Amino acid sequence: MKLTELIQLIDGAVLTRGADLNRDVRGGCGADLMSDVLAYSQPDAVLLTGLCTSQVVRTAMMADVAAIIFVRDKQPTEEMIQLANREQIPLISSPHGMFEVCGRLHNAGLQSLEHAYDEG
């Protein structure tokens, strides 16, 4: 799915500049706990989160996240936007809640890029 299609599906607003919105996204991952993202997300996932701190952007950089979607209309700070612009990670805000956004994207065929929990 193209990032531009995804943005339409969730009524998203793009908050960053310059990043390539025509890129393909392979799947998604939803979490508020950044350690979960670091542990269980696969590269090139879009990250759906209700957490809105600089650590989300940092985590995205480390985990090779394709784009960050803030649910429930969370608005990142200017500092976060600048960091994301520098790192070319699109920040998107959606008015819908986490369950709704996950549901819409999953329905539209976006697969999960979360590893299941493993003891190792």
Interface with other proteins (CB under 8 A): 4, 7, 14, 18, 21, 32-36, 38-39, 43, 51, 53-56, 58-59, 61-64, 79, 87, 120
Closest CA to 13 of 58, 56, 61, 76: 76
Tokens of 93: 């805000």
Tokens of 82: 């600048």
**Choice between 3 and 102, CB closer to other proteins:** 3
Instruction: Check: CB of residue 33 under 8 Å from CB of residue 55.
Output: no
Collapsed DSSP state (helix, strand, coil) of residue 17: coil
* Least separation in angstroms between CB 51 and other proteins: 5
* Least separation in angstroms between CB 100 and other proteins: 21
* Least separation in angstroms between CB 87 and other proteins: 8
Instruction: Check: CB of residue 71 under 8 Å from CB of residue 28.
Output: no
d(CA 116, CA 61): 22
**Choice between 35 and 107, CB closer to other proteins:** 35
**Choice between 107 and 118, CB closer to other proteins:** 118
* Least separation in angstroms between CB 111 and other proteins: 20
